[in-house]
Amino acid sequence: MPVPPTLFTMVNDPATNPPPRFAGITLRAFLIGTLLIPLNCYWVEFTEVVTEGTDLAAMSLIIGAVFSLFVLLCVNGLLKRIAPRWMFSQVELMFIYIMQTVSIGISGIGMMQFLVPTLGNAYYYENGSNGWKDLFHRAIPRFLTPDPEVLNKFYRGNSELNLEYLAGWAGPIFWWTAFILVLVGSMLCLNVILRKQWSDNEKLSFPIVYLPLELTRTDPEGGHIWNKPIFWIAFLIPCVLESMASLNYLYPGLPALPLKPSTLPNLSRDIHTPPWSALGDSLNLSFYPMVIGLTYFLPVEVSFSAWFFYLFAKMQDVAATALGFRADGVSPAMARIPYHGEQGAGAFLAFTLLGFWSYRKYLSAIIGKAFGEREFKDLPDDEEAIPYRVAVFGFLIGFGLMVSLAIASGMSVTAALLLFGFYFVFAITFTRIRAEAGLPWGFQPWTTPHDLILNVGNGRSNFDLNTLTSMAYFRWFDTDYRCLAMPHQLEGLKIASSTTGPARINPRQLFWVILWASLVGILASWWALLSIYYHYGAATGNVNGWRTSMGSEPFNALSDWIKNKETFQSDRVWGVFGGMAFTGFLMAMRLRFFWWPFHPVGYVIAETFTMNWLWCATAVGWLIKTLIMRYGGIRMFRAGIPFFIGLILGDYVIASLWALIGLWLGIPTYRAFPI
């Protein structure tokens, strides 16, 4: 049977749209993009680990990548005056930009910054009080961890990275580099499978790609954004405000206007009377310029739902307290009501699984083509980064390799399949959230895949010591999703299909460029982190203690898994089902009723930590856009784009400049983001 035309949009029909011309990456773009990666990775690690400045890698719109693009655009402006023929094209700029986004994130929170201390902390921080040696040292997968003999200087510092230390780290560097490369490669294959459905068929908004595309657009309507006074006015607003805050940080006597939660009053912190005391310190005020700017590019129903469901989640705590579920003496099952972690896990599962069901014909066509079914052999994939057959089998092979490494480290087959199965469902949901909501940063639910298996599913009582220990060593990438690679890859594919001019990015080249940039980013992060820790000491006060401590979290959890063999608790499972059911209800209502104001992505986000610092600024951005759309319409919205791009860029550029000052002087500087 022929492929139904409704499965894919008709943009690829050669009868109506001739195939676009593709431009490959130039040698200079490849070299510049490659050389920038280790520079940016070291900048990220030094700023976040040593000077404890702005988080340069943890943002959805990566600060280091945006600043690199800004510098190249300034160079382009100079070249336009002195050597126009040497100017960078939009395709070149976007190749370089994408190389930075897919590599810098690997160096950040939840990735290399958590992996490196995890590999040594089980040895260095073992003592009589925690008893780690007797509990699980015999089950540690030695080939995944460094030689304990080279760890003393790693934690105490006052040394330099040398061949002896590198030899002690050679095994884990090899195996974990291979694992991360397979992990990001598998995500890239999934993105190829999902790209057309999300980008072309559903036309998701992809707010994160607005800034790089608008700044580099070659044929903008109404003139270049750089020539608009409104853009520069907006650019200067955060430059002034963030500079005042930075100077105030260094010289407290100087005035500054508060912008972030740590400098603004909290609306609920001083409420101590039940049931409203259940709000805790959750009502943080914030007025980040870049949050207001990014919110401008969100659909209003998405930005509204983001802050509405955050407050809705807090009201659940108030209701639970009012009904006596938080009173002294109640059972643990009742005290957990309303099961925020479980709700969040259920929402993440349902958002992807129900989404797959809604476009099952699309997925069936791709899988059918991959397995050579005759009716799908003409399904077009010429403009994808790789053919669908390669994407499907690439993911399956990558999944198998990761499961195999986990099994080799001691994990049971069942645990490995469950862990990576749940993890990729969560990763797909997180990526979909970015494509629809594009918030400045994002988190996973409180109940992660590890928690689903070991706590909700009571796996801690059903798995042996080797499995539990192995799961602890595979916990670093399941702790914080802010630097997850998959959304950056999909945004890169979206940028490739959205570049303007006589030709756009060749997606087949982009696939290999992303993998190359990822490999360079992994190796650069190893070099940067090991160099920094051997010099400053991972256990000293010279570095950010939180990042070092996160390397002990897997082993604190492992101790709990070993010591406390909890019985199965069905109430937690029902909490997961409740989150799934409510997400399904919101998705169904949105499909059935055009007027329905609540977007399910808002609920999915609400049961994470994402909105704690963002809800107020997001509400401000939503209100501004709502008023503009209501009283000015689409024409005023388009006229406002330069202003809000300027807000974002100004906030990022000035934060980057102050981070560079900290790098230059070797001193702590003001953290513009997150708090």
pLDDT tens string 59-94: 999 999 999 999 999 999 999 999 999 999 999 999
Backbone angles phi, psi at 81, to 5 degrees: -85, -35
352 neighbors 432 (Cβ within 8 angstroms): yes
d(C-alpha 326, C-alpha 334), whole Å: 8
Across residues 564-574, what is the average pLDDT? Answer: 84
> Can you list the alpha helix ranges (DSSP code H) found in 452-501?
465-473, 485-498
Residue 570 CB: number of other CB atoms within 10 A? 10
Higher pLDDT, 573 or 17: 573
Conformation bin of residue 410: beta by default, left when phi > 0, alpha when psi is -120 to 50? left
d(C-alpha 114, C-alpha 601), whole Å: 28
672 three-state secondary structure: coil
Q: pLDDT band for position 666 (50/70/90)?
A: confident
What is the predicted pLDDT for the residue at 221? 62
Instruction: Tell me the CA distances in angstroms from 185 to 280, 420, 514, one per residue in order.
Output: 41, 14, 9
Positive or negative, the CA dihedral 229, 231, 234, 235 is negative
Residue 616 in domain: yes
User: What pairs with residue 346 in β-bridges?
Assistant: none
Residue 215 in domain: yes
d(C-alpha 174, C-alpha 523), whole Å: 10
Instruction: List, in order, residues 6 or more apart from 461 with CB less than 8 Å away.
Output: 565, 566, 567, 568
In DSSP notation, 176-228 reads HHHHHHHHHHHHHHHHHHHHIIIIIIS----GGGHHHHHHH-SS-TTS-GGG-
Across residues 295-312, what is the average pLDDT? Answer: 96
At 460, which amino acid appears?
Answer: R
22 three-state secondary structure: strand
* Secondary element (H or E) of residue 23: strand 22-23
User: What pairs with residue 130 in β-bridges?
Assistant: none
Query: The whole model's pTM is what?
Result: 0.94
What is the predicted pLDDT for the residue at 219? 66
What is the predicted pLDDT for the residue at 568? 78
The residue assigned the tokens 């049961």 is: 607
Q: pLDDT band for position 5 (50/70/90)?
A: very low
What is the predicted pLDDT for the residue at 8? 35
Residues in the chain: 675
Find the domain containing 347 and state its range.
5-9+26-665
SS3 labels along 51-77: CCCCCCCCCCCCHHHHHHHHHHHHHHH
What single DSSP character describes residue 259?
A: -
pLDDT surpassing 90 at residue 187: yes
Report how far Cα 391 is from the mean position of its chain's Cα atoms.
22
What is the predicted pLDDT for the residue at 126? 94
Taking only Cα atoms into account, the Rg of the chain, rounded to an integer number of angstroms, comes to 25
What is the predicted pLDDT for the residue at 675? 80
Domain count along the chain: 1
What is the predicted pLDDT for the residue at 667? 85
pLDDT surpassing 70 at residue 435: yes
pLDDT above 70 coverage of the chain, percent? 96
What is the predicted pLDDT for the residue at 220? 60
Cis bond upstream, residue 275 (ω within 30)? yes
User: What pairs with residue 22 in β-bridges?
Assistant: 504
pLDDT surpassing 50 at residue 121: yes
Q: Name the E strands within 398-510.
A: 504-505
Task: Share the mean pLDDT of the chain.
Answer: 92
385 neighbors 511 (Cβ within 8 angstroms): yes
Report how far Cα 410 is from the mean position of its chain's Cα atoms.
29
616 neighbors 314 (Cβ within 8 angstroms): no
Q: Quote the longest CA-to-CA distance of the chain.
A: 77
Instruction: Tell me the CA distances in angstroms from 1 to 337, 360, 364, 378, one per residue in order.
Output: 51, 17, 13, 11
454 neighbors 507 (Cβ within 8 angstroms): no
Count the alpha carbons within 13 Å of 487 in the hemisphere toward its beta carbon.
Answer: 31
Closest by Cα among 349, 102, 399, 72 to 216: 72
Across residues 442-447, what is the average pLDDT? Answer: 95
Residue 16 CB: number of other CB atoms within 10 A? 8
* Secondary element (H or E) of residue 575: helix 570-592
Which of 390-394, 428-432, 458-462, 501-505 is predicted with the least confidence, judged by mean pLDDT?
A: 501-505
At 547, which amino acid appears?
Answer: R
What is the predicted pLDDT for the residue at 15? 47
554 neighbors 475 (Cβ within 8 angstroms): yes
422 three-state secondary structure: helix
Residue 229 CB: number of other CB atoms within 10 A? 9
Q: For the purposes of burial, counting CB atoms within 10 Å of the CB of 265, is it exposed (0-12), middle (13-18) or buried (19 or more)?
A: exposed
pLDDT surpassing 70 at residue 12: no
Token pair of 398, please? 């990558």
What single DSSP character describes residue 504?
A: E
Closest by Cα among 433, 420, 507 to 187: 420
What is the predicted pLDDT for the residue at 223? 66
What is the predicted pLDDT for the residue at 567? 74
Residue 673 in domain: no
Token pair of 644, please? 């809000």
What is the predicted pLDDT for the residue at 247? 95
d(C-alpha 624, C-alpha 628), whole Å: 6
Backbone angles phi, psi at 266, to 5 degrees: -105, 130
175 neighbors 474 (Cβ within 8 angstroms): no
* Dihedral in degrees, nearest 10, Cα atoms 105, 247, 293, 221: -100
8 neighbors 20 (Cβ within 8 angstroms): no
What single DSSP character describes residue 455?
A: I
Positive or negative, the CA dihedral 656, 245, 545, 431 is negative
3-state helix, strand, coil in the chain (%, to 5): 70, 0, 30
Across residues 250-266, what is the average pLDDT? Answer: 93
What is the predicted pLDDT for the residue at 536? 96
Residue 503 in domain: yes
pLDDT digits (tens, 9 = 90+) for 626-649: 999 999 999 999 999 999 999 999
pLDDT digits (tens, 9 = 90+) for 583-625: 999 999 999 998 999 999 999 999 999 999 999 999 999 999 9
401 neighbors 393 (Cβ within 8 angstroms): no
What is the predicted pLDDT for the residue at 368? 95
Across residues 184-195, what is the average pLDDT? Answer: 98
Token pair of 153, please? 């200087």
617 neighbors 292 (Cβ within 8 angstroms): yes
d(C-alpha 549, C-alpha 117), whole Å: 8
Across residues 89-103, what is the average pLDDT? Answer: 96
